Structure formats: C-alpha cells, structure tokens
Amino acid sequence: MSRARVLILNAALGPLDYRVPHDMRVEPGSIVIAPLGPRQLVGVVWEEDRFPDVEPVGDNRLRPLLNVLDVPPLPGPLRRLIEWTAHYYVAPPAAVLRMALASISALEGARTVIEYRPTGATPDRMTDQRTQALERIGVRQGLIRELALIGGVSDAVIRGLVKSGAFEPVEVSTDTPFPVPNPGYAPPALSEAQQAASSRFVEAIRAVDFQPFLLDGVTGSGKTEVYFEAIAEAIRQNRQTLVLLPEIALTEPFLERFEARFGTVPVSWHSGLRQSERRRAWRAIASGQAKVVVGARSALYLPYPQLGLIVVDEAHETSFKQEDGVHYHARDVAVMRGLMEKCPVILASATPAIETRHQVELGRYEEIKLPSRFGGAQMPDVIGLNLLTDPPERGRWIAPPLVKAMEETLKKGEQSLLFLNRRGYAPLTLCRHCGYRFQCPNCTAWMVEHRLTRRLACHHCGHVIPAPDICPECKEEDSLVPCGPGVERIADEVRALWPEARVAIVTSDTLWSPAKAAEFVKSVEAGAVDIIVGTQLVTKGYHFPNLTLVGVVDADLGLEGGDLRATERTFQQVMQVAGRAGRGEKPGRVFIQTRVPGAGVMQALISGDTEAFYTAETEQRRRAHAPPFGRFAAIIVSSEDSREAAETARLIGAAAPHVEGMHVYGPAPAPLAVLRGRHRHRLLVHATRQLDVQDILREWLGNVVWKSGTRVAVDIDPYSFV
C-alpha cells in the first residue's frame, strides 16, 4: 500500500500520514486535499525522513487523501527553505508553509472570475451609503466582497449598485500570461564603476551558483541601474528574479523605472492585491511564466521553480523583519533561499547593516562598491544645527538657520524636504487645567492627534476617537493642548512662514495607495510642490533633481528608547534622507537639528566619515557581545488576563535551563506593557553564537504549560525590544 506524509495547513499539528488511493499519483511537493476530522484541508506531501519523529500509524488506520491539485508541486529548494525557517525561527512548519500557499484560490485550477467595474452612470436613487461607496471605490474594479470592503458598505449595497447600472460585470481570466520584460529594451550606458559591478553580477548569474553580494553604493550612485543589468541577464538565461523592497510605497516608483528599462512592468506581489490578481500572480510564479517579481517580504516564500537571482533593495531596512506570526528577517531568509536555489543574492544599500558588513569581513559576502554619485553629482553638504544654542522660536520647531536656508531655496525656485519621523499633528494631547492625558484604552501609548481627519488615533492598535472639545476628566473647555510636533504641525509652521509656498505632507496617511504615491511623484517632478514634509516614507527611493535642501527636524528622535540598534538606525535614516538632496546638477545641503551635536553619530553624519562611525559602532557591539558577535532571542508572553501573563512569564523564567554561554534576563513587564488589550511580559536570552539557542528554547518551552488564552512568541534575532 502506498502512503504519504503530509504537512497540512494547521499550525497546531505536525505532519500526518495518509493513504494514497490507487488511482492517485503524488510526489514530494504535491499539493493535496487531506481529511482532518470532519474537515478538508490543503496540505503538501513531504519526504518522510524530513520529519522522523512522527508517531507511526498502522496502515489500516490511515485515511485516504481526497485529491491532488492541478498545480506544480512545491519545488525541493522551497521545501528545504520552509524546514530551515521553521527550525531557525522556532515556528510551526505549517505556519511557514502558509506563506508559500498564499493564494488558496490559485490552487483551484484555471478559471475565470466575474469582477465588477464602475460604469460612470449615476443610479436613479442615491443613498448616503451609495454615495460613499461610489466615492471610495473611484475607478477600481474587484469582486463584490472587495468593493464592499473598499467602500465601507455591505455586499448588498454593491449588489444594489450593480442592479442600478452603476457597476458592470467583467470576466477576468486568472491565467492570462504576463508580458515578459525585454532585457534589450533600453539599456543605459554605464559608468566605469557601474560596468565593473554589472559584469561581476552577470558572471555570477551565468555560474548558476550561490553567491551573496553586498552592493554598497552611496545614494544616487546607480545601484538600481546596476542590478537591473543583473536582472537582464537572468531574463536572458530564462530564469526568474525576485526583487524585495522594504515597503509597498516604493513599488510604484520602482515599476516606472523598470518599465522604462525593460518595456513592461514586472509582476508585483503585496498585501494590496485583489484576489484575482493574487491568484494570477501566484499561478504565473509557480509555472515559471512570471520572470520578474517585485514585492514586499511575503514574496520570498512563493514557489519560483527557476529562481536565478534575488535582489534585496535597501537591505538595511528593519521593516524586512516580520514582527508577528513567524518572526523571520526577509534579508537573512533571502540569503538562505539563494543558498537553497543555488543563485546569487544582491543586498543593495547605501548604509549596510553592521550584520551585513560583518559577513563581508568574514569573507562570506562579496562586496561591490559604487563610491560616487552617477553623472558627477556631488554628495550634499551636511550642517549640524545645535538646538540648544540656536533654538527655534517658542512653539516652533524649525531653527532660524534652517528657516533662512529654506527661504533661499524657495527664492531660487528649488525644492526642500523636511523630515520628521512622526505622523499626525501632535503625539500627545493634555489638559492644561487638570493634567489629563489622552491614552489608548488598549495599549500603553498616547493617542496621537491627526488634525487633517480631526481625530485622535493610537498608532499601535488603530483605535480612534473624534477630536475632543472638552477635557473628559474636568469638563473644562478650551483647555486641551497638543504637545510636541508631528509632520502636520511642521507643515502648519511652514505655511505660517511662507503662506504662498506649496506644501505636500507625505506619510502613510496621505500616500495610502500606489496611485496616491504616483500622484505625489508626478506633482513633485512637475514642480508643483515647493516644500515636502514627510516621515521615513520619503527618505528612500525617490529621485527629485530639483530638491536641493533637506532639513532633519529632530535627529535625536530615533535615539530615544535606546535599543541595540538605535544609533545605527539614526545614522541610516539621516543618511538616507540626506541622500535625497542634490541628486541632479544642483548641489544639495542638509541641516541636521540636534540637541547632542557632539554625539559620535552626529559627528559622523556631519563629517561624512562613514567608516569611523561603523568602526566605533562595530567595536561597541563586539565588546557587548551583541549581534553580530553574540545572539539574542526574545520570549514574549501575552494574555488578556494580566495575572495569567505574569504567571506564565514567571514559570518560563523559573524553568530556564542553566547553560554555559547563555544568560536569561527577565521576565519583566514589556515597555509596551499592554498592546491591543493584551498584557505583555518579556524575557531576553543572550547567548554566544556557538550555542544552538533554538534547540535549547524548544526544549525549555516544551516543558512549560500555559493556558490556552496565553500566547508565547519566540523572536530570534529580535529588532524590536518593546
């Protein structure tokens, strides 16, 4: 009798054995439907010896598989990657597998679906709901369910609009092939340094072998152009390329540049796709038809059968770290995938992470440098502004020298960018009469005022309340004052200084869709914006030749909280935003406002001595045995019941094994002590790199029992310490 070991999509269960019916053919990787109790679940057939600890079940007790799906089996290298991820990040294999099978509807076989699109006709009878739906949906197309979600109305409202002629059905085939990018479409003439870099990449792709690269080039050096040449070679070799970007907002400018170079856009993969788009992309990726895929970190686990190249752009970005579910770091897993697939991996950055530089030092990654900007553009002048000796006026945040520089820039008809990494108007609202502060009911966090939408919002859980007029505590009127600035408040200050200037606020609140991002880029390029005020969303990717002045409103902001990478992150962020200045023919200037101008990181930014900064920072990590020289792992215990959370954390702490080379700190209440209504406690494990911390953790936590409402998350190589 033939049997198969199957990993099913249920994170609570390991692999299970099934009987394979006579008329069914399966192989490792086959995607199947398996019975589980009364339910039917998707699963993947796995090599038996990969999970040796499965409880043996007698032949007579095996249940038969129900179906094999008509999609290509998950490739072997991907199965190895799933195993590695589950092991390294101490996660259930099924939770990792779920990321590979990210479109369940794609598994159902080829078909067409009916979507609806607006006709432009106005229904005879309008209601508030209908008006709202039509307004929010705009020109978008989608399933009834998707349109209802976008419109913020029920399915019935959309169906009513269809009946009244405001939407019409469209048949969409989810198997239409994607156009193949043309490697010879518009290749640029490369500079000498670019040519050398590109040749090395081309050579590595032809070698069809694992090779990690660090592409270390200053902002504006042409890193994108160079890795485009690598992509061109992969296309010529008929192999697939995956490009990972740190956030969706960067997808739009990327698509445009890609199209200009290759004559067509690549396939994109991110959380904003419609179901039919997701399905089409997944199937084209799995069949090998999609040649180039650009996406957020979730694109990493898709079933590419012929991966020839992986690019991680802005590889130092911490948003590559997933902070819930499987806590993986997409940059590190990308390198692992390259190893499994036997293909080159390019990590591109102007400010590489210390971990990555360390790999270069160890000789594991090959470093390719682009030391100067393309086309003779100069790096900007960086000027430190001491907020203690040159403070802004009371109630203002832009210091006089920066005001003067902005004035000059405006007069010349050039553009400025003010950077403050804080959304909204003010991070805290308090009552000056009784001292009441608006706090989120679900989180240990202040409610942030958003004046544009007249609301207070929690940036952790999304809880919102209408902007209040009176203090809820003492009922005093006109007593509420905003404390501290967010970008909206800086924009107000700019408008007060230059009422005629055209100001754009750029945050995830204003650039919430690819279309909005494209609109923003167009208006800056067309010269319709004088001053941009933005969060980290504007610090990377954009290339605006007429932007010649950058002001960092509060460079000290990122240093607060003092986690392991606070200094490094501040350095990277300011370097990135500074990199927006003077990218064209006109030279750029950067002003950095700080209260600690003497701090090493500020000195490095002002002098531009990157090497000195990295050397000092690396030395500090070495002395503290911090990553990359030692290893951290966090255990986060959370529960809606505060006593349960504390008690489970205590039990885990008490069960900690004594191991040479490992030290356990805590448990202690997390800095974010309550998040989304859950009480949180943390333990931090610090170990030498020689130890197999994962095995120790598995055994340790395996010996502790906790109640079902309590969650225990393991975070290997944590980036967040709250």
| Separation in Å, CA 576 to CA 190, 365, 419 | 23, 23, 11
Please say which residue, 311 or 505, places its beta carbon nearer to ligand ADP.
311
Give the range of 214-222, 339-347, 391-399, 510-518 binding ligand ADP by CB under 6 A: 214-222
Of 15, 93, 217, 427, the one binding ligand ADP (CB under 6 A) is 217
Residue 222 binding: pick among ligand ADP, Zn ion, none (C-beta 5-8 Å cut-off by kind): ligand ADP
Of 162, 190, 557, 646, the one binding ligand ADP (CB under 6 A) is 190
Q: What is the dihedral of CA 212, 214, 220, 224, to 10 degrees?
A: 0
Residue 372 binding: pick among Zn ion, ligand ADP, none (C-beta 5-8 Å cut-off by kind): none
- Asked if residue 712 lies in contact with residue 706, where contact means CB atoms within 8 angstroms, the answer is yes
Residue with tokens 């986060």: 636
Assess 458 for contact with Zn ion (CB under 5 A): yes
Residue 266 binding: pick among ligand ADP, Zn ion, none (C-beta 5-8 Å cut-off by kind): none
Position with the least CB separation from ligand ADP: 222
CA distance 89 to 86: 6
Of 115, 225, 414, 449, the one binding ligand ADP (CB under 6 A) is 225
Residue 212 binding: pick among ligand ADP, Zn ion, none (C-beta 5-8 Å cut-off by kind): none
CA distance 379 to 547: 13
Assess 442 for contact with Zn ion (CB under 5 A): yes
In the complex, least distance from residue 608 CB atom to ligand ADP, rounded to whole angstroms: 16
Give the range of 37-45, 187-195, 600-608, 659-667 binding ligand ADP by CB under 6 A: 187-195
Residue 504 binding: pick among ligand ADP, Zn ion, none (C-beta 5-8 Å cut-off by kind): none
Residue 223 binding: pick among Zn ion, ligand ADP, none (C-beta 5-8 Å cut-off by kind): ligand ADP
Judging by DSSP bridges, how do beta strands 67-68 and 31-36 pair with one another?
antiparallel
Please say which residue, 461 or 722, places its beta carbon nearer to Zn ion.
461
- Asked if residue 309 lies in contact with residue 181, where contact means CB atoms within 8 angstroms, the answer is no
Respond yes or no on whether the N-terminal peptide bond of residue 21 is cis (omega within 30° of 0). no
Q: How many residues bind Zn ion (CB under 5 A)?
A: 7
Assess 196 for contact with ligand ADP (CB under 6 A): no
Helix then strand then coil, % of the chain, to nearest 5: 35, 25, 40
Of 15, 77, 151, 222, the one binding ligand ADP (CB under 6 A) is 222
Give the range of 97-105, 243-251, 272-280, 435-443 binding Zn ion by CB under 5 A: 435-443
Judging by DSSP bridges, how do beta strands 292-295 and 240-244 pair with one another?
parallel
Residue 58's contacts (CB-CB under 8 Å, 6 or more residues apart) are none
Assess 191 for contact with ligand ADP (CB under 6 A): yes
Structure tokens at 539: 């610090």
With H, G, I as helix, E, B as strand and everything else as coil, classify residue 669: strand
- Please list every residue from 440 through 499 that binds ligand ADP, using CB under 6 A: none
CA distance 164 to 123: 6
Please say which residue, 405 or 456, places its beta carbon nearer to Zn ion.
456
Residue 422's contacts (CB-CB under 8 Å, 6 or more residues apart) are 484, 485, 486, 487, 535, 557
Residue 375's contacts (CB-CB under 8 Å, 6 or more residues apart) are none
- Please list every residue from 93 through 112 that binds ligand ADP, using CB under 6 A: none
| Separation in Å, CA 618 to CA 320, 357, 358, 611 | 21, 9, 9, 10
Question: Would you list the DSSP string of 174-193?
Answer: TTPPPPPP-TTSSPPPPPHH
Binding map of ligand ADP across residues 356-385, x = CB under 6 A, - = no contact:
------------------x-----------
Assess 521 for contact with Zn ion (CB under 5 A): no
Phi, psi of 142 (to 5 degrees): 175, 180
Of 463, 516, 586, 663, the one binding Zn ion (CB under 5 A) is 463
Assess 461 for contact with Zn ion (CB under 5 A): yes
In the complex, least distance from residue 543 CB atom to ligand ADP, rounded to whole angstroms: 4
Assess 221 for contact with ligand ADP (CB under 6 A): yes
In the complex, least distance from residue 458 CB atom to Zn ion, rounded to whole angstroms: 3
Residue 192's contacts (CB-CB under 8 Å, 6 or more residues apart) are none
CB crowding 77-99: b at 16 or more within 10 Å, else e: bbbbbbbbbbebbbbbbbbbbbb
In the complex, least distance from residue 417 CB atom to ligand ADP, rounded to whole angstroms: 15
Give the range of 133-141, 220-228, 395-403, 687-695 binding ligand ADP by CB under 6 A: 220-228
| Separation in Å, CA 311 to CA 104, 291, 651, 661, 680 | 26, 14, 43, 35, 36
Give the range of 60-68, 189-197, 402-410, 658-666 binding ligand ADP by CB under 6 A: 189-197
Binding map of ligand ADP across residues 524-553, x = CB under 6 A, - = no contact:
-------------------x----------
Assess 219 for contact with ligand ADP (CB under 6 A): yes
Question: Would you list the DSSP string of 521-563?
Answer: HHHHHTT--SEEEE-GGGSSS---TTEEEEEES-TTGGGTT--
Which residues are bridge partners to 483 per DSSP?
Answer: 428
Residue 38's contacts (CB-CB under 8 Å, 6 or more residues apart) are none
Assess 674 for contact with Zn ion (CB under 5 A): no
Please say which residue, 431 or 443, places its beta carbon nearer to Zn ion.
443
In the complex, least distance from residue 506 CB atom to ligand ADP, rounded to whole angstroms: 18
With H, G, I as helix, E, B as strand and everything else as coil, classify residue 665: strand
Phi, psi of 668 (to 5 degrees): -145, 155
Residue 240 binding: pick among ligand ADP, Zn ion, none (C-beta 5-8 Å cut-off by kind): none
Closest alpha carbon to 521 in 509, 537, 500, 501:
537
Give the range of 185-193, 204-212, 564-572, 643-651 binding ligand ADP by CB under 6 A: 185-193
Give the range of 17-25, 221-229, 298-306, 485-493 binding ligand ADP by CB under 6 A: 221-229
Q: How many residues bind ligand ADP (CB under 6 A)?
A: 15
| Separation in Å, CA 665 to CA 94, 652, 683, 695, 698 | 30, 12, 6, 19, 18
Give the range of 142-150, 217-225, 490-498, 626-634 binding ligand ADP by CB under 6 A: 217-225
Residue 443 binding: pick among Zn ion, ligand ADP, none (C-beta 5-8 Å cut-off by kind): Zn ion
Please say which residue, 433 or 676, places its beta carbon nearer to Zn ion.
676
> What is the distance, to the nearest Å, from the Cα of residue 360 to the centroid of all Cα atoms in its chain?
24
Give the range of 130-138, 230-238, 438-446, 586-594 binding Zn ion by CB under 5 A: 438-446
In the complex, least distance from residue 313 CB atom to ligand ADP, rounded to whole angstroms: 8
DSSP run (H or E) holding 617: helix 610-623
Assess 223 for contact with ligand ADP (CB under 6 A): yes
Phi, psi of 164 (to 5 degrees): -85, 0
Please say which residue, 442 or 513, places its beta carbon nearer to Zn ion.
442
In the complex, least distance from residue 151 CB atom to ligand ADP, rounded to whole angstroms: 37
In the complex, least distance from residue 710 CB atom to Zn ion, rounded to whole angstroms: 20
| Separation in Å, CA 398 to CA 370, 425, 591 | 34, 15, 10
Give the range of 216-224, 356-364, 437-445, 598-606 binding ligand ADP by CB under 6 A: 216-224
Of 28, 92, 118, 188, the one binding ligand ADP (CB under 6 A) is 188
Of 95, 230, 443, 447, the one binding Zn ion (CB under 5 A) is 443
In the complex, least distance from residue 222 CB atom to ligand ADP, rounded to whole angstroms: 3
- Asked if residue 455 lies in contact with residue 447, where contact means CB atoms within 8 angstroms, the answer is no
Q: Tell me which residues touch Zn ion (CB under 5 A).
A: 440, 442-443, 458, 460-461, 463
Q: Tell me which residues touch ligand ADP (CB under 6 A).
A: 188-191, 194, 217, 219-225, 374, 543
